[in-house]
């Protein structure tokens, strides 16, 4: 079984998230998502609208996602790749080059981001409509 892994906050799920999950899954047979915990989001300087449990429930309902594990720190990726026997690590192109050290352990693929959508844009657009 060819396992793929990707990581993120996946707050206020939108079509940009769906696109990368769909394309990541298409690279193999089994997609694991390392979902940022609320505590790790604080370290990333992000405050998600939905809690970890709510974001996990939503991700698990997406047909491209086979397993959700918590992402609690920047350094767990190598261990995750080994533990889960991951063949390909996937991230959006905004992370291009940032995780190339993982090439020792698995294939590293950066996929083009979906233009025109982001969680921040959703929040801003909604605020401006008030």
Task: Out of 4, 5, 7, 86, point to the residue binding ligand C2G (CB under 6 A).
Answer: 7
At closest approach, how far in Å is the CB of 28 from ligand C2G? 16
Sheet hosting strand 107-111, strand order edge to edge: 67-71, 30-36, 3-8, 86-92, 107-111
At closest approach, how far in Å is the CB of 110 from ligand C2G? 8
Q: Is 3 an active-site residue? A: no
**Could you say whether residue 76 binds ligand C2G (CB under 6 A)?**
no
**How many other C-beta atoms can be found within 10 angstroms of the C-beta atom of residue 116?**
8
Structure token pair of residue 114: 């979906």
Q: Give 3-state DSSP helix, strand, coil % of the chain, rounded to 5.
A: 45, 25, 35
Question: Any idea which residues carry the catalytic annotation?
Answer: 44, 46
Which residues lie near ligand C2G (CB under 6 A)?
Answer: 6-10, 16-17, 20, 36, 46, 71, 91-92, 94, 113-114, 117-118
């Amino acid at each position: 079984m060819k396992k793929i892994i990707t990581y993120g906050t996946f707050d206020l799920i939108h079509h940009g998230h769906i696109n990368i999950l769909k394309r990541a899954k298409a690279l193999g047979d089994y997609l694991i998502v390392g979902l940022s915990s609320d505590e790790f989001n604080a370290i990333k300087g992000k405050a998600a609208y939905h809690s970890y449990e709510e974001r996990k429930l939503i991700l698990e309902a997406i047909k491209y996602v086979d397993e959700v594990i918590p992402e609690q720190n920047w350094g767990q990726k190598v261990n995750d790749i080994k533990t889960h026997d991951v063949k390909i690590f996937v991230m959006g192109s905004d992370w291009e080059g940032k995780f190339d050290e993982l090439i020792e352990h698995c294939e590293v693929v950066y996929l083009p981001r979906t233009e025109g959508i982001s969680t921040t844009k959703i929040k801003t657009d909604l605020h401006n409509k008030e």
